[in-house]
Chains A and B, each alone.
Chain A
Amino acid sequence: MTTPSDTQLIEQATNGNRQAFGLLVQRHQAAVRRFLLHQTLGNAALSDDLAQETFLKAYTHLDQYRGGAAFLTWLLRIAYNQFYDHTRKRGRQSAIISRDQASSSSSSDLHMDIYRALALLRDEERLCITLQLVDGYPLADIAQITGMPEGTVKSHLSRGKEKLSTYLKQNGYERK
């Protein structure tokens, strides 16, 4: 039996098939949650809440998905808007690294270092940097997810890399 494509599942889910949407959630939850985890600087509880809101919004607006972009790109755009709304409502939050994550794995110190460095960036810079250097998206997809022109994405990437490079050199990472 062949695995149904995203398009087939979306069509079934639009007609009220909750199981089909469940399959879409299972298929894309890791990417969406990981994306939000990076934007919230490792706050697992917050990123899961935002991810849940993302999927609920996607479900209620599924008929608006035109299929021009990949379904995951569309989901990440909603996720970014959820994150943007959250930070706008709450004001700029300081980097919160959840304690459970910091103590749960042997690489937690390294993760804390990374999130500390990412916290130095502006939201847009962090967004573009993580999408390109962590998730490996091309410029065109980043522009689609963020809703920014490609030129603006390039500027954020350049400024973000400059800041990260300075931070890494100042903290002795160049010698490691």
Chain B
Amino acid sequence: MNENDDLLIQQFLAPLKTDEVADDGFSLRVIHALPNRRQERQSRVWTVFCLVVGALLFLFTHSWETLLSGLRHFVVDTLPQVNLVYTAFTVLVLLILIFVEVIDRERAAL
């Protein structure tokens, strides 16, 4: 690469420098598509409200007893019959996939 090569490339790309991009209603389309912050806040409040109601129902209806009994059944009766090597491998693959997805989402956040 020498100065002539640099100059040649700059001359070749020069037409792109003068490209004008007219708005043509683009800004208006973006503004119309903007999310409504008030609605977002309301939706977040509803989510928290529903989660709290769900948790209270879970506690007051003693659903945790059913959950515990199911877990006990799984650990005592089912787990000993499962091939542990395959299970460990599956769990490992799942963890790797989740890890990759989390890293990817964090990078894509901005």
Contact = CB atoms under 8 A, between A and B. Distances in A.
Size bracket of the A interface: 35 or more
Interface string A28-42: 011001100110000
Main SS of chain A's interface residues? helix
A107 interface: yes
A55 B30 contact: yes
Contact of B27 (A29, A56, A81): A29
Interface string B61-73: 0000000000000
Interface residues of B, number: 29
Interface string B1-18: 100011011101101110
Contacts of B8: 165, 168-169, 173-174
A34 B33 contact: no
Interface string A109-141: 011001001000000000001100110100000
A170 interface: no
Interface stretch (A3-11, A14-22, A92-100, A148-156): A14-22
8 contacts: A22-B31, A30-B23, A57-B110, A59-B35, A64-B110, A111-B15, A114-B13, A130-B16
Closest 8 CB pairs of A and B: A165-B5, A30-B21, A25-B27, A26-B27, A134-B16, A22-B31, A55-B30, A33-B21
